[in-house]
Amino acid sequence: MRPAERVRVDLGARGYDILIGPGLMRQLGSRVLDLTPARRLPIVTDSHVAGHHLPPLVASFEAAGLEPAPIILPPGEGSKDFATLQHLVSELLALDVSRKGLVLALGGGVIGDLAGFAAAILKRGVPFLQLPTTLLAMVDSSVGGKTAINVPAGKNLVGAFHQPAMVIADTDVLATLPDREMRAGYAEVVKYGLLGDAAFFAWLEAHGAGVLARSPPDLARAIATSVRAKARIVEQDEQETGDIRALLNLGHTFGHALEAETGFSDRLLHGEAVAIGMAQAFRFSARLGLCSTDDARRVEAHLAARGLATRLPLPAESLLRHMLHDKKRDERGLPFILVRGIGQAFVARDVPLQAVRAFLEAEERAA
Ligand code: NAD
Ligand code: GLY
């Protein structure tokens, strides 16, 4: 079966295809034969995903004469740590994965980041395949080569850039994804419209309900448009040395402070924090006179219509403190992604702290 959509990430020798559409997992066995001479293939996954999606994948590999070797890890952000990384690397070494082998990451962003990092450091770099199973992983974390684990000093602080050999997003797997996770991933889809593609945002206003209802054509179009936008950004600024890749952080500076204040817990998923953060980026930009209040209201209305919160009143001083510890802060200050309107984001490094404080205090009062 041909994928509904194919997007190329053009990075020369590190370039790869992203295949998107229903039914792709069932034919993965034969596709993998083109990617590696290895026959024993480690499939790194978590126990939630394994319960739903491992058996058909294993069957497809066995039908192609391959020897699948599942490595099932506990689900959740807690697995992105040194102990689990060490366990995973030991398992991969025990399977004798060679530098011509292939590590498969079957799961959400947690599995993709962890297995990708393990592949990056194993034998100084083994190819890996991203098989994203959450909407967030399909539109964001599986593409672009950022891999990492968390340490007590902060999230994603130990990692490497390691581009996958291919990304295969089988939209059928989203059938089992809880609705809340689906909505959180949808926030990252909206991000691509808001940061650089007003027409895509307008399309989402009309078709977002279809995306969340997992309509195959709507999903394929939303995912393909999102990853095409991410691919164009990653091609220009692969390792975020300039300000181009930083645009992907729209809503993240505010959102990260909210996640930190809520203890990176189930109280607020990453995508939910990004949705509130994007609404805040628009309200803040409107307050600074950079964009119209109509645009800010339109963004809030769309997020709310799709079941995402746009406000979370938390103490301004605490949020500010988290922002000052944000890992994106460097010698040039803390970058804010602001907007001149829908589809017109830019990086601002000269935002006065006093203006941020006044805005956060107004947000707290408005609650
Ligand atoms: P996740 O991987 O924890 O998945 C969310 C939950 O859904 C988990 O419980 C998981 O077991 C379950 N799940 C996954 N797929 C499922 C399916 N098809 N059916 C049923 N349940 C399923 O979370 P996530 O939101 O996918 O990823 C978050 C992680 O991604 C964070 O660690 C974040 O740092 C990282 N991230 C990385 C990048 C990057 O560029 N590398 C970008 C954004 C986020
Ligand atoms: N998720 C942000 C990035 O990939 O750069």
Domains, the chain, ordered by start: 5-176 (3.40.50.1970), 179-366 (1.20.1090.10)
Give the Å distance between the CA of 144 and the centre of ligand 2: 7
Q: State the amino acid at position 210 in one-letter form.
A: G
Total residue length of the chain: 367
Residues with CB under 6 A from ligand 2: 140, 144, 146, 245, 248
pLDDT of residue 20: 97
Residue 210 φ then ψ, to 5°: -65, -40
Q: For ligand 1, atom 19, name the residue with the nearest CA.
A: 177
Catalytic: 249?
Answer: yes
pLDDT of residue 1: 64
Catalytic residue among 191, 270, 302, 306: 270
Residue 313 φ then ψ, to 5°: -75, 110
pLDDT of residue 333: 75
pLDDT of residue 260: 93
**Does the global pTM surpass 0.95?**
yes
Catalytic: 270?
Answer: yes
Catalytic: 150?
Answer: no
CA distance 29 to 163: 21
Ligand nearest to the CA of 110: 1
Catalytic: 245?
Answer: yes
Catalytic: 325?
Answer: no
Torsion of CA 259, 214, 220, 167, to 10 degrees: 60
Per-residue pLDDT of the chain (367 residues; tens, 9 = 90+): 678 899 999 999 999 999 999 999 988 998 999 999 999 999 999 999 999 999 999 999 999 999 999 999 999 999 999 999 999 999 999 999 999 999 999 999 999 999 999 999 999 999 999 999 999 999 999 999 999 999 998 889 999 999 999 999 999 999 999 999 999 999 999 999 999 999 999 999 999 999 999 999 999 999 999 999 999 999 999 999 989 999 999 999 999 999 999 998 899 999 999 999 999 999 999 999 999 999 999 999 999 999 999 999 899 999 999 998 877 777 777 789 999 999 999 999 889 989 999 999 999 998 7
Give the Å distance between the CA of 291 and the centre of ligand 1: 33
Catalytic: 207?
Answer: no
Catalytic residue among 53, 256, 283, 306: 256
Give the Å distance between the CA of 169 and the centre of ligand 2: 18
Show Cβ contacts of residue 43 under 8 Å, excluding neighbours closer than 6 positions: 54, 57, 58, 68, 69, 70, 71, 104, 106
Q: State the amino acid at position 346 in one-letter form.
A: F
What is the 8-class DSSP label of residue 140? I
Q: For ligand 2, atom 4, name the residue with the nearest CA.
A: 144
Instruction: Compute CA 149 distance to the chain's CA centroid, rounded to the nearest angstrom.
Output: 14
pLDDT of residue 178: 98
CA neighbor of 97 nearest in space, from 128, 74, 76: 128
Give the Å distance between the CA of 238 and the centre of ligand 2: 10
Ligand nearest to the CA of 45: 1
Catalytic: 124?
Answer: yes
Ligand nearest to the CA of 177: 1
Distances in whole angstroms, Cα of residue 122 to Cα of each of 85, 97, 139, 295: 11, 9, 26, 47
CA neighbor of 246 nearest in space, from 196, 310, 294: 196
